[in-house]
Structure 1
């Protein structure tokens, strides 16, 4: 576990980690004066950002991650699905579940999504950030020149993660079927950045310029179908 956490911390300090959160924060910045659950909160970066204008509860099973920063100002709960099952129905306006479901056994995912729906208020929204098969294949071929991995991903094989366990992707159609909620929209995260050589990414001002470019195409086709990650917004029925 220690090695995984060290690798994840290192990723967050790199330009590709920083731009990912800059884009994410921009796509969440409109949320204000809401009750928000951040499930699988990790080191609490999204929770801390959202807590500036909202009431945030973060749930994370790994204490070494969630309790790493004593200065954060949101409610922290160590646990997983069992914690959610004890919470009252219709508690939250928004639930965030970012880069989590890939690492949950596929047969168990509907149970998590069912609990999310129960916890959302009427017409509440679920924010999912997920890996995108097309984007990961493009990165494997273009940036990494790793044809073998790309072919495996094309066949639906698990992907390797140095920060977490092996992951298995799911499509937008899979998500809608599992959740029984309606997809309002989905946005791109890292349409271009995952295809650029890494030596460009440390240039002064590069993150700011590329964040501007990424946000400009985040809600446009075909870019959001080619991005490395997709930010999906689902809505609970009335």
Structure 2
């Protein structure tokens, strides 16, 4: 993965970077008293939030990102990727979070297979992924780049501002023979990514936009135009036999 670490850090420090996590944390707040794996933990922002009310093991391949974490973290940090997951015991987690990771790995199917193995029966997988429709809206409206939008519509992979090429995928295809079933999905960055950034530094913008996003992130058609979608999957071994 090609990553511009400084550009990514700068993005997260802006109002339009911070609000993403404000929304995500609202969607994760019901996870309590569980043993959780954060696969692809990055700077540890989500791991740190979840560790307030859970036992968290974070796995991240990039040592530079691990080094940039907050120093007051209260979770276990491991460096590695799919190879490290292979070493962890079956059904050792109540929940797994995998956020904006599968777009950047060589074999997303293998990652989901390991997540399925590591989840206990009835456990949840919180998976955030890029959404093609929302991405193209962002390019055509916020960036006002019609040529780029047309290339994406023609099947070109999406180039992020700091993480390199993101290969979009169809979740249903990846879980077709796995004991994972989608229970629910939510939208992330439905409206705010379409606004000019000049609005986002105004007093009160973050609170007002958070209220708007929260009001609709569980509802269609709003969640169906989001730049990211947050899927909640449940492990059910009986699914494989029934398919």
So what's the TM-score if we normalise by structure 2? 0.93
Q: Per the alignment, in what secondary structure is the counterpart of residue 88 of structure 1? A: coil
Q: Distance in 2 between matches of 1:114 and 1:208?
A: 38
| Poorly superposed stretches of 4+, deviation over 3 Å | none
Q: Distance in 1 between matches of 2:112 and 2:207?
A: 35
Q: Distance in 2 between matches of 1:55 and 1:76?
A: 12
Contact 2:112-2:175 within 8 A present in 1 as well = no
| Per-residue deviation, 1:67 | 2.9
Write out per-residue CA displacement over residues 156-190 of structure 1, whole angstroms, 9 at most, x where no aligned residue: 21111232121111234334437551000100001
So what's the TM-score if we normalise by structure 1? 0.95
Q: Which residue in 1 is equivalent to 2:160?
A: 161
Q: Distance in 1 between matches of 2:132 and 2:116?
A: 25
| Per-residue deviation, 1:117 | 0.3
* 5+ residue gaps, structure 2: 238-243
Q: Distance in 1 between matches of 2:194 and 2:61?
A: 32
* 5+ residue gaps, structure 1: none
Q: Which residue in 2 is equivalent to 1:29?
A: 29
Q: Per the alignment, in what secondary structure is the counterpart of residue 33 of structure 2? A: coil
Q: Distance in 2 between matches of 1:58 and 1:28?
A: 16
Distance 1:67 1:113, change over 3 A: same
Q: Distance in 2 between matches of 1:16 and 1:179?
A: 35
Alignment RMSD (CA, Å): 1.6
Q: Which residue in 1 is equivalent to 2:113?
A: 114
Contact 2:142-2:194 within 8 A present in 1 as well = yes
Aligned length: 236
Contact 2:36-2:93 within 8 A present in 1 as well = yes
Q: Distance in 2 between matches of 1:86 and 1:12?
A: 32
Q: Which residue in 1 is equivalent to 2:241?
A: none
